[in-house]
Amino acid sequence: MSDHNNHEMHGYYTGDIHNQFVPEHYDPKNRSVIWRTFWILLVITIGEVAIAFTSIPKEILMVTFITLTVVKAYFIVAFFMHLKHEKLSLAYCILFPFVLIVYLIAMSLTEANYLNLWDVIFK
């Protein structure tokens, strides 16, 4: 008998008129991956709180917080939303609009800054 058939099947019965067994894709190492991700996110969050109370210049703090927030967002999207193991096309469908929105915000801020400077120059 193969090793695949020896382990217990995880799943549920549908409960409808067909009463089919729907297997779940259970992997024992998933629990350890989730806990590892939790601890990584916790350490990053504690680090963010700790450096918030230091006397680091504000510009460096802002870049540091943005970078750590992007790292935390990666872990959340990759492991809790299960996108790390998806096809690349699905990841692009989710990431491409995000990049466009960030670009739109950057261009809007640039334009707003430009218009503000334009008013100052011609007053």
Structural domain boundaries of the chain? 1-85, 86-123
SS3 16: coil
Identify whether the C-beta of residue 76 lies closer than 8 Å to the C-beta of residue 41: yes
- The answer to whether the Cα torsion of 25, 29, 34, 40 is positive or negative is negative
pLDDT digits (tens, 9 = 90+) for 39-98: 999 999 999 999 999 999 989 999 999 999 999 998 998 887 777 777 777 778 878 898
One-letter identity of residue 77: V
Confidence category of residue 123, pLDDT binned at 50, 70, 90: low
